[in-house]
Amino acid sequence: MKTTLLILLSTLANIAVSATSLRPLSLDTLFSSADYVAIVQIQSGAMVEGEGARYHATVTILIKGDKLAKEIDFGPFAGLGIGSYYMVFLQRDSAGRFMIMFQGFGSFALNTTHLNKDPMYLARHTRMDDVAKILTSHIILPAALKSYPTDDSKRVLSDDRIWGAKWVKQEDLINYLQHLPNR
């Protein structure tokens, strides 16, 4: 028993464990580094061997980048909902494919339905269909953009507290990005 335990501990000690942690990135830096920024509606998604998740989406608003077709393909991070709207920050990889930036944090959910958990709060501040969900644990918002909730203790869901989820009015977010350099 002791020999087995020693062998197991010795084996575990030789296993290299590595983790990637991301430093928070400013919204301005995310935008300036992107080749393409748009609001899209996800039409379909599939897992592609060797590439991960790939999505096919309709472009509803182009914010930055060359005007492409009305539809775009991108990946590789799973978890985007079919039929849902997102603001995506994309870069081209060496093969010319569009990739969601910043390990997947370069996609902001729009029209987030779970906000119904606190309808009185939002009724005073913004309409449900006009917000972008931004994980402020990874994306640093500029002071010029008003975000909700303003008091972190008022977050509705525990995941929102963990990830620092805040909501910004879509119109304010788009206007802010359209006035940044590097368009």
CA distances from 104 to 74, 91, 92, 122, 180 (A): 11, 12, 14, 27, 22
**Predicted local distance difference test score (pLDDT) of residue 129:** 59
Question: So what's the pLDDT on residue 19?
Answer: 44
What kind of architecture, by CATH, is found in domain 35-109? Beta Barrel (2.40)
Q: Is pLDDT above 50 for 4?
A: no
Domain parsing of the chain, residue ranges: 35-109, 112-178
Please write the tens of the pLDDT for every residue from 54-98.
Answer: 999 999 999 999 887 799 999 999 999 999 999 999 999 999 999
Q: Which amino acid is at 43?
A: Q
Inter-residue contact 119 to 112 (CB < 8 Å) = no
In whole angstroms, give the CA distance from residue 71 to residue 145: 29
pLDDT tens digits for 115-130?
A: 444 545 445 544 445 8
Strand segments, DSSP code E, in the chain are 25-26, 36-48, 52-64, 71-75, 85-92, 98-100, 107-110, 131-135, 139-140, 147-148, 165-169
The pLDDT of residue 13: 37
pLDDT score, position 25 = 93
Q: What is the residue-averaged pLDDT of the chain? A: 78
